[in-house]
Chains A and B, each alone.
Chain A
Amino acid sequence: MHVLSLRPRAGIESSYEYVEGWGMAVGMHARVLRPRSTEEIAQCYELARAAGSTLTFRGGGNSYGDASTPGAGMVLDVSRMNRVLSFDSTTGIATLEPGVTIEKLWKTILPLGFWPRVVSGTMFPTVAGALAANIHGKNNFAVGTIGDACLEFDLVLPSGEVKTCNRERESELFHAAIGGFGMLGCFSRIVLQTKRVYSGNVRVRGESTRDLREMMQYFEAHKCTSDYLVGWIDCFSGGDASGRGLIHDAQNLHAGEDTDPARSLTVAHQELPANILGLFPKSQVWRILRLFNHDLGMRTINAAKYVAGRMEGMGQPYLQSHAGFSFLLDYVPNWKWAYGRARATHGLIQYQPFVPHAVAHDVHSEILERCRRAGHVPYLGVFKRHRPDPFWLTHAVDGWSFALDFKVDPARREGLWKLCDELTELVIGAGGRFYFAKDLVIAAEDTARFLPQERLAAFARLKRACDPETLIEGQLYRRAFRDWIAA
């Protein structure tokens, strides 16, 4: 009798789990494979092939919609491949395994006087996920996306072949896989350029704005001098105060401005506190937010934030840690659970249209108005300035994005999707684009309308060349790409 005995661990670590989008409004049960090496990534393809299954790539699972949820098959989660392979503290070049999170990256390089060029509003995405989504930060208008900060990567194709891609070598694959949402292959090594910082703090100024025009004017006046600009908007406020909000404008400190950089550059200086007032555990704060997660509650919270912002706008600029300024979404752990956490029926979606500069004010004002009219007011609205980049499926335009968080529940779902369809018409008509890391609503025919035809055709060609058997197929691919790639 083989009591208390196990065979030696063989093959790739895996488990059967529920895999969902970060917003929780979509998900399914799937076998999740967690390879630990480039060879194991290739083995995952073999495994999927042998099982007659497909494969979806997943990093930290922080995309709001279905960018990393499976179509019907297995999931390859890169998070076990999380070593920093090298970091050159003279050039700021980091060579990373795909599962290194933005958290691990900044914690590794900040004590050496560097900070990632591009970070998201949360530190939990992996660099592979970030590159696949071609994420941007609050400095998109100044430095572009993470793709612009990428020097080179290795991509494992379904054939098992590893392609090294940069701007010269495999340039097509380089520009298609960045922002390609893992539809072409799996990143196994990523080289990023990071930037020198002379302090662990940034100088932040709050500017309260009475409407959307005032906010846009401030951005335009400061975009040449500010390092980071981000606007928050109270979406509940209508009439003359429609689009009222608060801008956070941040600057990196110059060499010598911080008299004690050795202290501010430590990880300890950056950490967000675990308790509120030293007592109440932050892990339970979502339960309190849950009490306010309805239209009246959120109207109150947004109004209160606006009033607080008016006062902040009258105050002096202040210093804030890089992590404190950058990762606002991480202040309250699992705050999304405040939206309700019954799987697939409750949660939130984010709808983030990117609209060209010339028409941005009118289109975004119209979007706000239509949301209010339809009775689907976003509980959170964030406004940002962007610039174009060379990546094939990029969302970025020379213009403005408005990220809108909508509550999803069974009663609202159908009406919300209908509203989004109408807004999508408006945005595409204005020459706007969408960002699949935030999306759950764009249909294949719309994808084909907002992305340039020649780019789409080239991407489809590349997909067929890299993945002729369509082994890589996630839910996003099925929803927004398959129809026109097959065509």
Chain B
Amino acid sequence: MSHAEHETDSHSGPSSNGDVARTAKERHAIVVGASSGMGAALVEQLASEGVSVVALARRKDALDALAERCKHAPGRVIPIAHDVHDYDSVPALFERCVRELGGLDLFVYATGIMTEVGPQEFDTRKDIEMLAVNVGGCMAWTNEVAKLLRTQRSGTIVGISSIAGERGRKGNPVYGASKAAMNHYLEALRNRLADYGVHVCTIKPGFVETAMLAQARAQGRTIQGAITAEAAARSILRAARARRNEVFVPFKWTLVAAVIRNIPSFLFKGMNI
């Protein structure tokens, strides 16, 4: 009996991408929150490197446009509409994604919302909504992803968090808290999966040209020195592939964060940052 008949793991055989040029080391990726910003830029970047990607987001039209932009890329883009609130649908949807791809090497959770909160506004509904999307959705997905990657002993999980999770600022308490929760959760997940060869990379973007930044500008904030989503996507993939644990994007925010983290509370109270 030839050994080929025992080679049942189709993902370790020859590339399922056929004869396309593939430059990335991953073959199959899922990006949640792919309709715009860093998520969309990541999908484009991965597809251009020959990676097959399932792109998930609520807005199907935006996903279809993304798939259209990538139609000549060497990697396949599979758009699937999904609302991250719908936690119950995740297990079956996740299986469908992996089956369509034929495996999974990289998972990115890029969904995030920042609801406008006034300086003296205390609104539970807004607060819980941010947690539901930024944290609840992240957990609903990464729990399923972790079970698969752990058992296959390979793969990378990337969570797009934020520099906002470093300190409890006046500006948007629950957005910051949701990102702090994400940082803590992803660190624990990294430690849980470390023995199984699975890596978890926490990305903490500073200012990146996304819809969220446009929203902040619309609220009258002056923001300078933002990088493009494409530049951020390149940095994110570089960090994930280098198996970095926590990375600020762009790099200069590493220094900003170091300063912010070390401002004593009695001074921080009076500051408007």
Contact = CB atoms under 8 A, between A and B. Distances in A.
Interface in B145-202: 147-148, 151-154, 195, 197
A475 interface: yes
Instruction: Report the contact-size class of chain B (Cβ under 8 Å from the partner).
Output: 35 or more
Nearest to A19: B151
A18 B125 CA distance: 39
B103 interface: yes
Interface string A379-420: 000000000000000000000000000000000011011000
A187 B103 CA distance: 32
B87 to A, nearest CB: 6
A3 interface: yes
B146 to A, nearest CB: 10
Contacts of A17: 147-148, 151-152
- Interface SS of B by simple majority: helix
Contacts of A4: 128, 131-132, 136
Contact of B8 (A5, A7, A26, A443): A26
A444 to B, nearest CB: 9
A440 B88 contact: no
B189 to A, nearest CB: 16
A373 B12 CA distance: 30
Contacts of B85: 1-3
B6 interface: yes
B1 A417 contact: yes
Contacts of B99: 29
Which of A2, A16, A443 neighbours the largest number of chain B CB atoms within 10 Å of its CB? A16
A27 B9 contact: yes
Interface string B73-101: 00000000000010110010011001100
A69 B9 CA distance: 11
Interface stretch (A102-110, A206-214, A340-348, A352-360): A340-348
B9 A344 contact: yes
B8 A417 contact: no
A47 B239 CA distance: 42
Interface string A411-438: 0011011000100000000000000000
Interface of B: 1-3, 5-12, 85, 87-88, 91, 94-95, 98-99, 103, 125, 128-129, 131-132, 136, 144, 147-148, 151-154, 195, 197
Interface of A: 1-7, 14-20, 25-29, 31, 66, 69, 283, 341-345, 413-414, 416-417, 421, 440-441, 443, 475, 479
Query: What are the nearest 9 A-B pairs in CB distance?
Result: A344-B9, A18-B152, A3-B132, A18-B151, A16-B95, A443-B1, A417-B3, A17-B151, A15-B147
19 contacts: A1-B85, A3-B125, A3-B128, A3-B129, A3-B136, A4-B136, A6-B88, A16-B144, A16-B147, A18-B153, A19-B151, A26-B9, A27-B8, A27-B152, A29-B148, A343-B153, A417-B1, A417-B2, A417-B6
